[in-house]
Structure 1
Amino acid sequence: MAGARQDEAAKLHRGFSWLAALGVILVLAGLVGLVYTGVATLTSMLLFGWLLLIGGAVGLLHAVQARGTNFFWLGVIVAALNIAAGVVVIRRPDAAAAALTMFAALLFLTAGLFRLVGSLVVRGPQFGWTLLLGAFDLLLGILVLANWPSSSKYVIGCFFSLALLFDGLGLIATGFGGRRIVGLVSERLAGEDDARDGPGRAHAKPVPPD
């Protein structure tokens, strides 16, 4: 029983170690992307295009398998749109990055205006924090639009690299935290096993010599 617990704890420990190692790789990739934002933008757009293309192909395969149902043509149309969008993004990643940058800037502007107006109208307990976030979103949207389309060369790459960086930090924290918890649980189980086996050894009768 104790050996099985130790093996399971060792597997969990190795799993959390691999999780932390993956987090380190993501953090390094995020830092490199923040230094080379142009390359990160191009890489993220190509990755996005291939994901659309593969997703469209898989969706088309599912639609073909579901032919004869009411959702056949809808699945075919959605899959065809994904494939077409993936081809366009792969062939023109710069134009796709410019369009996504414009869309992101409009989202920041809209979110900033809603937060500013909402914080001024409601004036709830988080008034100052909501007002600050709204002003930040509005300023970010204005800055991106003011430098568009040149801003499209680094905005998407910067966001992509920051996402990798924070995801990597989260994985590192989860990996090290999980390893620590597994270590504490293993020590406690080992102590319980020693305490359980100790009285048995103490009250055991000596075996007479032959």
Structure 2
Amino acid sequence: MTKPAKDEKAKLRRGFGRLVALGVLLVVAGLVGLVYTGVATLTSMLLFGWLLLIGGVVGLLHAIEGRGSNFFWLAVIVAALNIAAGVVILKSPDAAADALAMFAALLFLTAGLFRLVGGLVVRGPQFGLTLLLGAFDLLLGILVLGSWPSSSQYVIGTFFSLALLFDGLGLIATGFGGRRIVGMVEDASGVGKAGPGDASKPVQAE
């Protein structure tokens, strides 16, 4: 194997190793968030607010740079709405969490009803699974809505922590899978290579 190829494979292994390390951090953060859901809710809302605020400022700057375009005022309005939403969330994260929890509950209720009705009407090959998912969404929406607004203290944090957990597990699986593939390529590249002393000697004629 040539030296450049070895260097490339070493870089790939280090890159996949970083993915595994990042995945472990996300998994730990997700597990901590599931234990301290109130802190996770507040953290997620503050992060969401800052993302909206920064995104709105960047969008406004881009709109000003391209003010000669036909969508200038639309871009300005969207950026202003993002900035306003970010400021409101950062100023009142608890009220924003209440609103998002209400929105999540209504979303689960709507999705559950659509799945149940659609499953009963269509009766496709996934009929049982569709009804099960619809009933689960409906039950989750009822539970969140039934204990609202107190449920907002843990609903958003739980969803945020679960997202971190599953993203971390995905990164860990990708990192280990990538390192394994690199190792298999290295093993395959070394198979069938003859050493310097393995060449057969020519037969001399008598």
TM-score bracket relative to the smaller structure: over 0.9
Determine the structure 2 residue equivalent to 1:136: 136
Deviation, 1:191, is: 2.3
Are 1:190 and 2:194 counterparts?
no
Q: In the comparison of the two structures, how many residue pairs are matched? A: 202
Cα deviations across residues 20-72 of structure 1 (Å, max 9, x unaligned)? 01000000000000000000000000000000000000000000001122111
Alpha-carbon distance in 2 for matches of 1:75, 1:92: 26
Determine the structure 1 residue equivalent to 2:63: 63
Alpha-carbon distance in 2 for matches of 1:179, 1:204: 40
Specify every segment of 5 or more residues in structure 2 that has no aligned partner in the other structure, as ranges.
none
RMSD of aligned Cα (Å): 1.4
Are 1:202 and 2:199 counterparts?
yes
Q: State TM-score, norm by structure 2.
A: 0.94
Task: Give secondary structure in 2 for the equivalent of 1:73.
Answer: helix
Alpha-carbon distance in 1 for matches of 2:161, 2:48: 14
Deviation, 1:190, is: 2.1
Deviation, 1:198, is: 5.3
Specify every segment of 5 or more residues in structure 1 that has no aligned partner in the other structure, as ranges.
206-210
Query: Which one-letter code corresponds to 1:202 in the other structure?
Result: A
Task: Give secondary structure in 1 for the equivalent of 2:67.
Answer: coil
Alpha-carbon distance in 2 for matches of 1:67, 1:12: 43
Matches within 5 A, 1:1-210: 2-192=2-192, 194-195=193-194, 202-203=199-200
Q: State TM-score, norm by structure 1.
A: 0.93
Alpha-carbon distance in 2 for matches of 1:190, 1:45: 52
Q: Which has the higher helix share?
A: 1
